Amino acid sequence: MSEDLSGQIAIVVGASSGMGRATALALSQAGANVMAAARRLDRLEELRSESNGSIEVLQTDATRATDVERLVAETLAKFGRVDVLVYATGTNIPERALEALTEETWNDMVATNLTGAFLCTKAVLPSMRTQQGGLIVYLSSAAVQMPDVSGVAYQATKHGMTGLAHGTRVEEKANGIRTSVIFPGLCDTEILGKRPIPTPRRLLDHSLDPGDVAEAVLFIARLHPRAVVPEMQLLPSRL
């Protein structure tokens, strides 16, 4: 039988749009207390109003250690624990080809897609160790298994997230801490607007919906703590 999420405490980083937003709503609807974090406060306030106040929000830049530490500290102050962390923040750039990539744009990609995930992981681990349990879910990309033209910075950072997830799980499993990394295929989210060439509507019509990814997160979160899904690939069935 699946675990009841009622009363569970979840932090969703990158909750202002797309998969993160859908995940925050899904966790809340499943009974969890959710702290939704992102840089765009106006989007977070819209999310809070849509949830009828069942989601708390905090403006957070995941690339800044002080912001992340404040996020976890305020969550602990309000709820006393963190049971689930979902890292859904991610970005890409139109100028993604090697000939166009610069040291600055490379560093920006690493900061958002990978360093932010590390900072959030580092921040929640002490409380999870104390309570001897916790789940961290990282939203990655199917480009990890299927190299494409999403850009070397994007693919490198998403590969790095896999190493972060698996390394953390191995180091922390004795403390009851589990990690899962989800690799979604084409999903109709705002990040597609950063592609050099717009995605054809015929492909978007068959792509994943952010809610599909949220359902995958729920499945993993509802598993008994004795079980873990280290990796999950989630692809559009007709692409």
pLDDT of amino acid 207? 96
pLDDT of amino acid 213? 98
pTM value is: 0.96
pLDDT of amino acid 1? 55
pLDDT of amino acid 30? 95
Q: CA-to-CA distance for 1 and 72, rounded, in angstroms?
A: 30
User: What are the catalytic residues?
Assistant: 154
- Please give the domain boundaries of the chain with CATH numbers for all domains: 9-234 (3.40.50.720)
pLDDT along the chain (239 residues), means of 10: 87 97 97 97 95 92 98 98 97 89 95 98 98 98 91 95 98 98 93 78 93 98 97 97
Reported as a single tens digit per residue, the pLDDT across 66-84 is 999 999 999 999 999 999 9
Strand partners of residue 10: 34, 84
User: Could you please report the per-residue DSSP string of 37-71?
Assistant: EES-HHHHHHHHHHTTT-EEEEE--TT-HHHHHHH
